[in-house]
Structure 1
Amino acid sequence: METFNATARRQGKWWVIEIPELGHTTRARTVVEIQDVATGLAAVIRDVDPSEVQVNVAVDTPELPEATWREAREKTQQAQQLTREAAAASREVVTSLRSSGYTLRDIAAILGISHQRVSQLTT
């Protein structure tokens, strides 16, 4: 299997894909299409089946604010953890009230949630 390196750069509405080892370029409309188009080009140029070539594509984009992206991902993970903790605490409160003899409707009224939600928290 032959392996090639390619670079895809945005030009207007198109992604221009260059495979320097082959001395050819092609284009794709979307990022999703880039890999298939690049592989297809390499296969046509080498006159082989696409399964016989591998093209490693680097998508050239403007510098991404990596620190901001990393911070956003960390905040998402923290939010998910806090959501799990809040759900566990909610179940604990409902379980405690149920074991004290309160009905689902009483618990709902006390906590300001629907009795259906209380039921969900008891399972």
Structure 2
Amino acid sequence: MSAPALPTYRVTVTREIGLWAATVDGLPPGVVGATDVERHADLDDAVRDLIAGLTEVDTSDFHVQWAYVQKGRDYTQVVLGLDAWETQAGESTAVFDAYRRAAIQSMRGAGLSMRDIADLLGISHQRVSQLVAQGVTQPRSGTADLDQAVLDAVLSAAVAEGLDPDHIPERARQALPWLVRAVKGALPQLNDDPESLRWYAATLAVLAQQARRAAGRAA
């Protein structure tokens, strides 16, 4: 006889007055679960301890389904996808960096401040600023056509690093379509910034090509 399935509790995370606030759904009737922490790194333990205490079970006797929402905007897949990419960072560092820049843009669109994003990612707010700058600027020299050719070559080499369809990790293969959508989603916000628009358009072209190659190999 198989063991009974463990219960799953949905935990919604929001940013409230400098704190990461978490509310738990799925608890027994009449039981309200909520907690907050200053550092995002402490959130998982705090939530699991809370649920374990309220349900009188061990922290390993249930599952947690995370949801990140700010001002009505759900950016859960950004956070979960980032975690997935981080585990593959050793195999595809360049792609992880591109994903992280896209994730930061999405988080900024959700209303999080630079310091909020820094705390969530576990890096300094100065590093967040650097990543934002890397995502919207590129060196310029010579003619525009030459710049574009060099940019395309650099992006192709960097983004394709570790993404040969013969060797692409399955988790990375699954995340590629999302990354394409994330970069595509940034384009409408850049109408007043031709430099950024060109950078993202070139990035999107490379990512889309890699996604098509990976999908073709999978088929």
- Given the two structures, how large is their TM-score scaled by the length of structure 1? 0.50
**Which protein has the larger Cα radius of gyration, Structure 1 or Structure 2?**
1
Equivalent pair of 1:9/1:59 in contact (CA under 8 Å): yes
What's the % identity of the aligned pairs? 19
Q: Distance in 2 between matches of 1:36 and 1:28?
A: 10
SS at match of 1:50: coil
Secondary structure of 2:60's aligned partner: helix
Give the alignment partner of residue 13 of structure 2, picking from 8, 27, 49.
Answer: 8
In structure 2, the gaps of 5 or more residues are 1-5, 79-100, 106-134, 136-151, 162-219
TM-score (normalizing by structure 2) = 0.30
Unaligned ranges ≥5, structure 1: 84-123
Alpha carbon RMSD of aligned pairs, Å? 3.4
Structure 1 distance, partners of 2:40, 2:10, is 16
Indicate if the aligned counterparts of 1:17 and 1:38 stay in contact, CA closer than 8 A. Answer: yes
TM-superposition CA deviations, 1:16-65 (whole Å, max 9, x none): 1001222211112222222222111111111111011211111224657x
Query: Do the aligned partners of 1:3 and 1:54 also contact (CA within 8 Å) in 2?
Result: yes
Query: What is the CA–CA distance in structure 2 between the aligned matches of 1:51 and 1:6, rounded to whole Å?
Result: 16
| CA separation of 1:69 and 1:39: change in aligned 2, threshold 3 A | same
Q: Deviations over 1:56-101 (max 9, x none)?
A: 111224657x9x82895xx885352699xxxxxxxxxxxxxxxxxx
Work out whether residues 8 and 26 of structure 2, in 8 Å CA contact, stay in contact via their aligned partners in 1.
no
Aligned equivalents of 2:64, 2:159: Cα separation in 1: 39
- Show the counterpart of 1:24: 33
Q: Following the alignment from structure 2 to structure 1, what is the Cα–Cα distance between the partners of residues 23 and 70?
A: 14
Aligned-partner SS, 2:47: helix
Counterpart residue type for residue 66 of structure 2: V
| SS of 1:60 mapped into structure 2 | strand
Residues 42 and 55 of structure 1 are in contact (CA less than 8 Å); yes or no, is this contact kept in structure 2? no
